[in-house]
Amino acid sequence: MPAGFPPITGRTALTLLLGDPVVQARSPELVNAELERRGLEARLMPLRVAADDLATVAAALRVTDTFRGAVVTMPHKHAVVPLLTTAGERVARTAACNVIRREEDGSLTGDMLDGEAMVRAIQDAGGTVKDARVLLVGAGGAASGIALALADHGVAELDITNRTAARADALADRVAAAVPGVRVTAVTAPGDGYALVVNASAVGMRPEDGPPVAPGVLTGAEVVADAVIAPRPTALLAAAAAAGCATVDGGRMLAAQVGLMVDFMFAGDMTPST
């Protein structure tokens, strides 16, 4: 491990966090620490991009040779997909992307790592995913990746709830079609009895937000997980801790995928700086 980051030069590879807002994000801290640990001559910087400007930014990045890749966060995980040149299977299945690599010819390749990271974080907290009854809150980009990963890892039942019911219906249909052995249902008023409760919505990002589900929904839950990074703890995780549940915050989910993101953005083709 190097003693510290080398100075920024014309050889420094640029990676970005694309989102709106970005002030709450821990990706810069965690990814830069991983880049330093690996001795890579690269940095990640947060870039706040409004939804209407995402296509313009993507076009600019295609012709920016020093740009190497990006972490994509809310609200761009779905919107960035049509801007990719090529997409991996997880992007195709979820219609969402959270990491981009710029190829030498300027093309953009994307993948979706949220789901595997959340499953890993739940398991690290002692949760059992296989054969579990799970409630997922949200139906956006992160929720899509998490829903499919939970199904791939063998949950018995997956209930999906969202403020816009039609989006929950659409995600439930997509997961049921992709993983036929899992019972997937869109619900408007979830009850209790879930082994795992996962929030993949934006509810909780503002300090004044309350929990995205009624407290009774947490009764008997083994693990409650929240993809929201900050504030810590979110209202959901505070309620879960009070109910005696193990908790997983968005920071643990992000930490579980940082190495995977760096692997993807650099694809093993960079040598440590000297």
Walk me through the domains of the chain, giving residue ranges and CATH numbers: 13-113+254-266 (3.40.50.10860), 115-250 (3.40.50.720)
pLDDT at 144: 92
Preceding omega of 233 cis (within 30 degrees of 0): yes
With a cut of 70, list the residues of the chain below it in pLDDT. Answer: 1-6, 268-274
Cα gap 202→17, rounded to integer Å: 17
Phi and psi at residue 220, to the nearest 5°: 80, 0
Q: Shortest CA distance to 16 belongs to which of 38, 48, 53, 60?
A: 48
Cα gap 204→206, rounded to integer Å: 5
**Residue 198, CA atoms < 13 Å, CB-side half-sphere:** 34
**Where are the strands (E) in the chain, listed by range?**
13-19, 42-48, 67-72, 86-87, 99-102, 108-111, 133-137, 157-161, 183-186, 196-199, 223-226, 246-248
pLDDT at 273: 40
The residue from 68, 77, 101, 102 that is catalytic is 77
pLDDT at 21: 92
pLDDT at 5: 63
The DSSP secondary structure of 205-255, one letter per residue, reads: SSTT---SS-GGGGTT-SEEEE---SSSS-HHHHHHHHTT-EEE-HHHHHH
**Where are the strands (E) in 30-85, listed by range?**
42-48, 67-72
Answer whether 161's CB lies under 8 Å from 136's CB: yes
Cα gap 71→15, rounded to integer Å: 8
Answer whether 81's CB lies under 8 Å from 91's CB: yes
pLDDT at 206: 85
pTM: 0.79
Is position 77 annotated as part of the catalytic site? yes
Residue 266 has what DSSP assignment?
H
